[in-house]
């Protein structure tokens, strides 16, 4: 089953709505609307009560909807069955997409051996031994998530080597802490696509500080187009993936060749802290899944499409550079 | 004015309540309670309506309360005036403290020259030139924030060199993006204390990966005891600070000697992303504000107190090591 988020007009302005996505039928189903229709017909709920119950069960926040518990799929299936699903459906081509999740925390792993090799060769760095000891991951800013069909903000301080990263996003469906690998996949609700845009020049300056990437990555994180539930994937190491720029294939491969399994990555992320419903954990970039590895870069106006089997296409357009932003003045050495 | 969060019993279990803290009067004032009393007496609101309005205005989440807008201080002053404040007050010694904020995003800067020097000397590393070009900061996990008087979780994989970090926490009061330094302080609601506990052995392994600290820091972030509004500080570079372990002073200094001003740090953090009400940005560790700089470390049961002028004391006790957690098996080299 596929779940997404769209924006709809309301008397309160645009609001987020949770939808079931049926690409094969060319439609999405507004879950709160279907649930209200269902509650009225089935439980004889009053009009206002039906809306209130439906919005509590299927809020526009994916994080809140998943936090309601493990029954999201069953509950959705019940309310969209038959005519309620039909009555609450919208043509898929007409909707405005929001990020597939609104993650409380957005993290990004580093699991594909091919990318680790390619990145270090291009950046002229050795692969540190630590990468063999513990799964690397970083925390990104969840405030700049964007969805399918969005324009990618391009702050003017990213002056060179603008890049995409072709990644899967593992969406957490259940609250947990210090989960073990053998149970970790029970905490994954589904998989989406994640484009972790990166300014490589600035990243090169940020790395030696040792605190992770900040401004080189946190201007935009594309998540979408929607989430496919985990049961629809036969093999997490054999998901075909591709990235196209302006229609031309720049990278193609699959989700195999991992240094750490999905279960190990999720388990490690959860160690001593809390993974929350709606959290997104990036797989890290697929081997060959960045322009850096090709010695290429993005330009304003470029259309970037990530595609993965069983998910779909996450398409975004690079915006124009925003000039006139403040930038810090270098300090004098003190040692 | 000082604002904090406490836990109170209710028929729904423990709930968070926003309080004004008056240490000099030995009391805290439950703001939602005072506001309900005030609404009944002043606006003739019904009992249930008064509670509903009061909870919307003063929710138990500091992030939500600050998101209500820039009038938190004035609104609080109005409802606690006179007998409503008295009637809604609780003895300060009897309350259970929660983290002073529930930050949507928890970041940590690196601004004190003394600590940068001391850390690099002890870790045997050169200060990278990048630190002179851009303000370093990292993103920490907000899921593991703890408050005053809490026991600090100690996962067993932190086997050595457990450390505290004496920091100020700048609490954001207003939503903003790409804020310039000259207006940045308007976005700071107040200052609290922040103890960024750190496992130095593990941190040493994490650093070469270049993605920031993860498990060496994200097991516990103490924030409290409460927030003092910015107007109560005369000089942000002259706040006295001290750290004590089991009553013995291990570090003492003040908030001077910064590589980047508070305004520059906040402005840089906000560049191209969003700072949200309730977000906490750590100042970075004060020079001499970590045990690492002394060649010392913490043990289970140690009581750590951070103190700062105009704020108070943030006291926590190191817990016992939690054993039996999963830990990843090293991988074979692939290059």
Q: Which of B104, B137, B274 sits opposite A214 (nearest CB)?
A: B137
Q: What is the pLDDT of residues A292-312, one digit of tens each?
A: 999 999 999 999 999 999 999
Within this chain, domains A2-97 and A106-321 share the same CATH topology: no
The predicted-structure confidence for B53-65, as pLDDT tens digits, reads as follows: 999 999 999 999 9
| Nearest CB to A272 within list B136, B137, B219 | B219
Please, are residues B143 and A276 in contact by the beta-carbon 8 Å criterion? yes
For residue A191, which phi and psi values (nearest 5 degrees)? Answer: -130, 140
Reference A165, options A210, A124, A207, A222; nearest CA is A222
Cβ pair A130:B105 closer than 8 A: no
Q: What's the token pair of residue B327? A: 């830990």
Q: Which residues of B touch A260 (CB under 8 A)?
A: 328, 331
* Paired strand residues for A258: A112
Within 174-193 of A, beta carbons closer than 8 Å to B belong to 178, 180-181
3-state class of B322 per DSSP?
Answer: strand
The chain-wide mean pLDDT, for chain A, equals 96
Cα separation, B103 vs B94, in Å, equals 25
Whether the Cβ atoms of residue A30 and residue A54 lie closer than 8 Å to each other:
no
Reported as a single tens digit per residue, the pLDDT across B50-105 is: 999 999 999 999 999 999 987 899 999 999 998 999 999 999 999 999 999 999 99
Q: Confirm or reject contact between A136 and chain B (CB < 8 A).
A: yes
Residue B79 confidence (pLDDT): 96
pLDDT of residue B192: 98
CATH fold of A106-321 reads Fumarylacetoacetate hydrolase; domain 2 (3.90.850)
A297 Ramachandran zone, left/alpha/beta (phi>0; psi -120 to 50): beta
Residue A25 has pLDDT above 90, yes or no: yes
Structure confidence at residue A100 as a pLDDT band (50, 70, 90):
very high
* Contact residues, chain B, for A116 at CB < 8 Å: 334
Listed by start position, the domains of chain A span 2-97, 106-321
What residues 30-89 of chain B have any CB closer than 8 A to a CB of chain A?
A: none
Would you call A124 an interface residue with chain B, using a CB distance cutoff of 8 Å?
no
Question: Hey, which residues 271-300 in chain B have their CB within 8 Å of chain A?
Answer: 271-276
- CB of B137 within 8 Å of a chain A CB? The answer is yes
Q: How far apart are CA B108 and CA B196, in angstroms?
A: 8
User: Which of these, A302, A288, A102, lies nearest to A192 by C-alpha position?
Assistant: A102
**How far apart, in whole angstroms, are the C-alpha atoms of residue A225 and residue A65?**
17
Asked whether the bond before A209 is cis by omega within 30 degrees of 0, the reply is no
Query: From CA A119, how far away is CA A161, in angstroms rounded?
Result: 13
The answer to whether B324 faces chain A, any CB pair under 8 Å, is no
Using the beta-carbon criterion (under 8 Å), do B218 and A273 form an inter-chain contact? Answer: yes
pLDDT tens per residue across all 335 residues of chain B: 999 999 999 999 999 999 999 999 999 999 999 999 999 999 999 999 999 999 999 999 999 999 998 789 999 999 999 899 999 999 999 999 999 999 999 999 999 999 898 888 887 888 999 999 999 999 999 999 999 999 999 999 999 999 999 999 999 999 999 999 999 999 999 999 999 999 999 999 999 999 999 999 999 999 999 999 999 999 999 999 999 999 999 999 999 999 999 999 999 999 999 999 999 999 999 999 999 999 999 999 999 999 999 999 999 999 999 999 999 999 998 87
Q: Chain B interface, mutation test: which of A270, A273, A319, most B Cβ atoms within 10 Å?
A: A273
Q: What is the 3-state secondary structure (H, E, C) of chain A?
A: CEEEEEEECCCCCCEEEEEEEEHHHCEEEEHHHHHHHHHHHHHCCCHHHHHHHHHHHCCCCHHHHHHCCCCHHHHHHHHHCCHHHHHCEEEHHHCEECCCCCCCCEEEECCEHHHHHHHHHHHCCCCCCHHHHCCCEEEECHHHEECCCCEEEEECCCCCCEECCEEEEEEECCCEECCCHHHHHHHEEEEEEEECCEEHHHHHHHHHHCCCCCCCCCCCEEEEEEEEEHHHCCCCCCCEEEEEECCEEEEEEECCCECCCHHHHHHHHHCCCEECCCCEEECCCCCCCCCHHHCCCCCCCCEEEEEECCCEEEEEEEEEEECCCCCCCCCCCCC
pLDDT in tens, A209-232: 999 999 999 999 999 999 999 999
The tokens describing B329, both together, are: 């098996």
- Please check whether the domain covering B106-322 is classified as CATH 2.70.150.10: no
Nearest residue in A to B329, CA atom: A133
* pLDDT, position A121: 87
A167 upstream amide cis, omega within 30 of 0:
no
Which CATH number, 2.60.120, 2.30.30, 3.30.530, 3.30.70, labels domain B2-97? 2.30.30
Q: What are the backbone angles phi and psi of residue A154, rounded to the nearest 5°?
A: -130, 90
Mutate to test the interface with A, among B61, B117, B183, B209 (most CBs of A within 10 A): B209
Interface predicted TM-score (ipTM) of this complex, two decimals? 0.96
B294-to-A39, A264, B287, B288 alpha-carbon distances in Å: 65, 36, 11, 8
Query: Among all residues of chain B, which has the CA nearest to that of A213?
Result: B211
SS3 of B229, please? strand
Dmax over CA atoms of chain B, in Å, equals 75
> Which of B124, B266, B269, B272 would best serve as a mutation to test chain A binding (most A beta carbons within 10 A)?
B272
pLDDT tier at A122 (50, 70, 90 boundaries)? confident
């Amino acid at each position: 089953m596929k779940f997404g988020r769209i924006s709809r007009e309301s008397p309160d302005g645009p609001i987020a709505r949770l939808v079931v996505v049926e690409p094969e039928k060319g439609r999405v189903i507004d879950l709160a609307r279907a649930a209200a229709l269902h509650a009225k017909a089935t439980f004889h709920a009053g009009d206002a009560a039906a809306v209130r119950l439906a919005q509590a069960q299927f809020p526009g926040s994916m994080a809140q909807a998943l936090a309601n518990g493990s029954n999201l799929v069953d509950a959705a299936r019940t309310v969209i069955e038959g005519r309620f699903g039909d009555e609450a459906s919208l043509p898929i081509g007409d909707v405005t997409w929001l990020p597939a999740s609104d993650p409380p925390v957005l993290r990004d792993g580093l699991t594909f051996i091919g990318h680790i090799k390619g990145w270090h060769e291009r950046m002229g760095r050795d692969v540190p031994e630590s990468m063999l000891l513990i799964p690397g991951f970083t925390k990104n800013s969840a405030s700049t998530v964007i969805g399918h069909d969005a324009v990618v903000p391009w702050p003017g301080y990213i002056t060179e080597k603008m890049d995409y990263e072709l990644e899967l996003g593992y969406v957490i469906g259940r609250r947990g802490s210090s989960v073990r690998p053998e149970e970790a996949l029970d905490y994954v609700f589904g998989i989406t696509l994640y484009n972790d845009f990166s300014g490589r020049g600035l990243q090169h300056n940020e790395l030696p500080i040792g605190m992770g990437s900040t401004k080189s990555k946190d201007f935009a994180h594309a998540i979408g187009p929607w989430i496919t539930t985990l049961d629809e994937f036969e093999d997490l190491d054999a998901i075909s993936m591709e990235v196209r720029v302006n229609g031309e294939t720049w990278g193609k491969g699959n989700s195999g060749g991992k240094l750490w399994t999905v279960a190990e990555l999720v388990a490690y992320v959860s160690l001593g802290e809390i993974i929350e419903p709606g959290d997104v954990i990036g797989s890290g970039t697929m081997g060959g899944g960045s322009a850096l590895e090709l010695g290429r870069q993005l330009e304003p106006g470029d259309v970037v499409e990530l595609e993965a089997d069983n998910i779909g296409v996450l398409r975004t357009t690079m915006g124009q550079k925003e000039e006139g932003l403040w930038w810090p003045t270098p300090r004098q050495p003190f040692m």
